Structure 1
Amino acid sequence: MAARKRRWPQGVWMQLTSPQTLKALMEQRSFSYDRLARYAGCSKSFISHLVKARKKSCTPRIAENIAEALEVPLEILFVPSISADSGRIIKPNSRSAA
């Protein structure tokens, strides 16, 4: 069951809530870094950086692809954050404008 992709305002990044949760879900579903990277549309080193907390955010598209591949709601793994230069404030539970 494919999740419907949202349209996010420019400047929105997705903050990983827990590297441990990401790692646990990957192990539970037998996903290697390489396999998840192929689903997400990024490099396996980027997935490794997320799991090891060297990176803490990614684009909404990559976040949605990771959540979809692991068959969990987006909100389990990621929350929206906004880049400092955009001047916008995004509340995690607010709906974004299309």
Structure 2
Amino acid sequence: MVLFKICFALALHQTAAQRHLPLPRFIFIDSPMKNITPDIKPEIFQNFYTELYRLLDTDLKSWQCIMIDQTHFEPPATLGDHLERRLTQNDPNYPPLISYYHGH
């Protein structure tokens, strides 16, 4: 159901972009692959991110997208400028946002 709602929101943003409708050019996507990991459903995982990156490189090029997910799917080089930040608990290369917090 989560993925369906995200796809619906993306369709709304795509329609707004194509028709120059007044919609904020900002998308925040939290956990689109909830309960869907690349090892269990690789085709769903790959197809979602491929389509998302295609939209961000075409119709939604002027949109800002913030994505939070458990697994990283590398964006294509054609996507242009983007920033990624990985957060881990025990890897100094990818420190958590709050260094002293160790939630469970």
Q: Same fold (TM over 0.5)?
A: no
Calculate the TM-score normalised by the size of structure 2.
0.28
Question: Per chain length, whose mean CA-contact separation is higher, i.e. which structure has more relative contact order (CA < 8 Å, sep 6+)?
Answer: 1
* TM-score for both structures, normalised by structure 1: 0.30
Pair member with larger Rg: 2
Higher helix share: 1
